Amino acid sequence: MCGRNVRRSRGVTLGVTNSKLFTPMTLRSMDLSHRGWVSPMCQYSADPEAAPGVPTDWHLMHLGQFAAGGAALILTEASAVNAEGRISPRDAGIYNDEQGRAWHRITEFVHSTGSVQTKIGVQLAHAGRKASTYWPFSGRNGSVPATDHGWQAVGATDESFDGYAAPRAMTEGEINAVIDDFAAAADRAVLAGFDTVEIHAAHGYLLHQFLSPLVNTRTDAWGGDEESRSRLTLDVIDAVRARIPDGMPLLLRISATDWISGGLDADSSVRLARRAADHGVDLIDVSSGGAVPGAKIPVGPGYQTAFAEQIRRETDLSVGAVGLISTADQAEHLLATGQADGIFLARAALRDPHWWQRAAHDLGADLQWAPQYERAAANRGKY
């Protein structure tokens, strides 16, 4: 299977300790200097009037700071594959050439700034029925009307999410068109200089809407049993895999459980991961939830890592763990106990964009710093 083209590279360390966090890893032809990575985080900072979907200087600063801080891999925010796939009017996209050029500026900056030869990947996404909503710091909630740069969302069905405006159920032609949009976005990702691509199939967005039996009640070839509900995700994987180089790894973010009886669970996610591997996915980025409101999620440190561990144990894929992972010791424990192959950070990275340099100090590992910052690393006993 294509997913077997992975080397987990255990046992080689950068520093004087046997730190798992600072062990190199290779996915296809992409060499990662260690296993501490940046999770996709929406910034809602594109200008919906002047340049819809185009990444800005904010994105350059936001992503560049993690490269300077020692992250081995950075994933962009969810980047829409077409205009109606944006979560909000302020979301970034990768569906036209202007956006592609703006992303290229950012990938070049990250590659030139990283203290550890940082890699950067784009997360390709479509929000489905969760599109055209207000961004978190707008002071407003719900769906954005057309008078405020909004649009009608589309989805697996015409059922709305938690008070949002009702979407339009996608036709066969629209489903095939969105597969083509993912493929075209993959083309732009390669031209923009990204090192890897992640497909977003989690958090209640379009692909997850088709995957979850709680949402997908279609009776055609795109709904029904698990195989049919997986069809869109697998077709998107095929389309993207066909457009990126053989040596470029393909990542897939999933919600491993819907946290509601009758929805997706760990076992169904293992089956999806196996199918994804057969279609060319190299790593599963394991998150959870988001398909339907009202789920009781036991949020706490590492609350999603059991799902990552099961997928890792029962498939040939590498996995990334995410979700309230904040300390070097916690990350080290998850890797040392075989619960994951890599650690995605979100809030912890926002709080400390140099988290990886601090973690290396705490774990006694040697991590190269950008030369402009080396004076801060000189006296490691007083970080």
The pLDDT of 277-299, averaged and rounded, is 96
Please state which of the ranges 107-116, 213-222, 330-339 shows the lowest mean pLDDT. 107-116
Closest CA to 307 of 263, 280, 270: 270
Q: pLDDT tens digits for 211-266?
A: 999 999 999 999 999 999 999 999 999 999 999 999 999 999 999 999 999 999 99
Q: Which residues are catalytic?
A: 205
Assess whether pLDDT exceeds 80 at residue 64.
yes
Total count of domains within the chain: 1
Q: What is the pLDDT of residue 60?
A: 98
Residue 8: which pLDDT band, with cuts at 50, 70 and 90?
very low
Q: What is the pLDDT of residue 370?
A: 87
Q: pLDDT tens digits for 306-331?
A: 999 999 999 989 999 999 999 999 99
Residue 329: CB atoms within 10 A of its CB come to: 12
Q: What's the token pair of residue 61?
A: 């600063």
Distance CA 381, CA 383 (A): 6
Is 260 within 8 Å of 295 (Cβ atoms)? yes
**CATH code for the domain of 68:** 3.20.20.70
- For the whole model, what pTM was predicted? 0.94
Q: What's the token pair of residue 135?
A: 């961004």
User: What type of residue is 274?
Assistant: R
Assess whether pLDDT exceeds 70 at residue 380.
no
Q: What is the mean pLDDT of the chain?
A: 93
Phi and psi at residue 96, to the nearest 5°:
-145, 170
**Domain span at 17:** 2-382
Distance CA 308, CA 286 (A): 6
Is 134 within 8 Å of 140 (Cβ atoms)? yes
Query: C-alpha angle 332/2/202, rounded to 5°?
Result: 60
